[in-house]
């Protein structure tokens, strides 16, 4: 009898540990890997993130490849870049205010029209959205590998609270414990 | 709740998000909900019809009680009770 109870206790402990690990693997958390640097995709990223944060979800954004252009600060200049890095810097949008639309860009007419419409319809601007994201504790991680690849330096990114620099393993770890994972 | 019942509610806080589009009203609601007591009623004014779908979903997730909404002149009055 006593042995049975001991056994049951052990099993309950075992189950408890399992439940905790399952709970931890499905946190109320949103992870997004953002690869695209198009204005429309970055807007979608920020709107979804803010809606999640408004529902008290933890939000972790992983910016990589073309999306890095959205985090550039045009006022910050860095010296000592090689030719290819300089070319990347020149060819890519200088900041989130210079992003192109994935469709109907029309040499910059499209983004201008969208921004005007957004203002008219009361949609937050990207600047406002990034500011709010910072206030709401949305975490932004810069993919260090793509940063190196394109020759960007840590010093030329926007001022954002706790901007982190990490690799794909960080995204995987964050995504693994999130209940929602997106790729944009 | 019927529209008549909604109109009778004692509103502790009214959030005017009529000039905003998604996700503005939601963020305003989140900001304001901290300033009222559990059991109090909050009203959200929004001209964005999507908000009438988003606020019930938000309430369900946050545990607040969604009470209903009705259309006023060109905007919506949305009601919820804080948990």
With respect to residue A12, please indicate whether it lies within any of the assigned structural domains: no
Domain of A73, CATH number, reads: 3.40.1260.10
Q: What distance in Å separates the CA atoms of residue B58 and residue B62, rounded to the nearest whole number?
A: 6
H-only helix segments in chain A: 2-25, 39-54, 83-91, 109-121, 126-135, 144-149, 168-176
At B41 the pLDDT is 96
Q: Which candidate from B24, B30, B61 shows the least CB-CB separation from A124?
A: B24
Secondary element (H or E) of residue A164: strand A164-166
With respect to residue A98, please indicate whether it lies within any of the assigned structural domains: yes
Chain A hits for B58, CB-CB cut-off 8 Å, are 54-55
- Encode pLDDT of A62-107 as tens digits: 999 999 999 999 999 888 888 888 888 889 999 999 999 999 999 8
- Inter-chain residue contact B26 with A54, CB threshold 8 Å: yes
The structural domain count of chain A equals 1
- Inter-chain residue contact B21 with A56, CB threshold 8 Å: no
- Inter-chain residue contact B61 with A47, CB threshold 8 Å: no
Interface of A with B (CB under 8 A): 47, 50-51, 53-56, 118, 121-124, 132
The pTM (predicted TM-score) of the whole model is 0.85
Q: Which domain holds residue A65?
A: 27-183
- Is the preceding peptide bond at B16 cis, omega within 30 degrees of 0? no
Q: Complex ipTM, two decimals? A: 0.82
The DSSP result for A57-71, as a single string, is -EEEEEE-GGGGGGG
B79 strand-pairing partners: B43, B68
- Nearest-Cα residue of chain A relative to residue B63: A55
pLDDT band at A116 (very low <50, low <70, confident <90, very high): very high
Within chain B, what is the greatest distance between any pair of CA atoms? 30
B22 is catalytic: yes
- Nearest-Cα residue of chain A relative to residue B62: A55
With respect to residue A18, please indicate whether it lies within any of the assigned structural domains: no
**CB distance B36 to B82 below 8 Å:** yes
Q: What distance in Å separates the CA atoms of residue A176 and residue A174, rounded to the nearest whole number?
A: 6
- Inter-chain residue contact A55 with B19, CB threshold 8 Å: no
- Encode pLDDT of B65-82 as tens digits: 999 999 999 999 999 999
Helical packing angle, B24-33 and A39-54, nearest 10°: 30
- Inter-chain residue contact A50 with B58, CB threshold 8 Å: no
Q: Return the CATH architecture of domain B3-81.
A: 2-Layer Sandwich (3.30)
- Encode pLDDT of B26-79 as tens digits: 999 999 999 999 999 999 999 999 999 999 999 999 999 999 999 999 999 999
Q: What distance in Å separates the CA atoms of residue A65 and residue A63, rounded to the nearest whole number?
A: 7
Which among B11, B21, B22, B27 is annotated as catalytic?
B22
Task: Report angle CA A70, A75, A76 to the nearest 5 degrees.
Answer: 85
Shortest alpha-carbon distance between residue A38 and chain B (Å): 20
Secondary element (H or E) of residue A143: strand A139-143
What are A17's two structure tokens? 């540990």
């Amino acid at each position: 009898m006593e042995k049975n109870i001991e056994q049951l206790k052990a099993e309950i402990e075992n189950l408890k540990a399992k439940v905790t690990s399952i709970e931890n693997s499905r946190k109320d958390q949103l992870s997004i890997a953002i690869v695209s640097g198009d204005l429309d995709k970055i807007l979608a990223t920020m709107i979804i993130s803010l809606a999640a944060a408004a529902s008290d979800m933890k939000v972790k954004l992983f910016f990589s490849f073309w999306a890095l252009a959205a985090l550039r600060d045009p006022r910050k200049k860095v010296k000592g870049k090689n030719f290819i890095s300089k070319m990347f810097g020149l060819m890519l949008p200088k900041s989130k205010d210079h992003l192109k639309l994935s469709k109907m860009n029309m040499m910059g007419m499209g983004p201008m029209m969208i921004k005007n419409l957004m203002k008219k319809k009361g949609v937050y601007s990207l600047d406002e959205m990034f500011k709010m994201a910072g206030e709401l504790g949305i975490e932004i991680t810069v993919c260090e590998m793509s940063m190196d690849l394109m020759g960007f330096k840590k010093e030329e990114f926007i001022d954002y609270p706790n901007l982190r620099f990490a690799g794909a393993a960080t995204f995987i770890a964050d995504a693994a414990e999130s209940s929602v994972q997106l790729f944009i | 709740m019927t529209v008549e019942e909604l109109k009778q509610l004692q509103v502790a806080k009214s959030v005017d998000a009529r000039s905003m589009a998604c996700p503005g009203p939601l963020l305003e609601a989140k900001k304001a909900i901290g300033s009222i007591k559990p059991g109090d009623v909050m009203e959200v004014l929004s001209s964005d019809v999507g908000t009438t779908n988003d606020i019930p979903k938000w309430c369900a997730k946050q545990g607040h009680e969604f009470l209903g909404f009705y259309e006023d002149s060109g905007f919506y009055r949305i009601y919820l009770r804080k948990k």
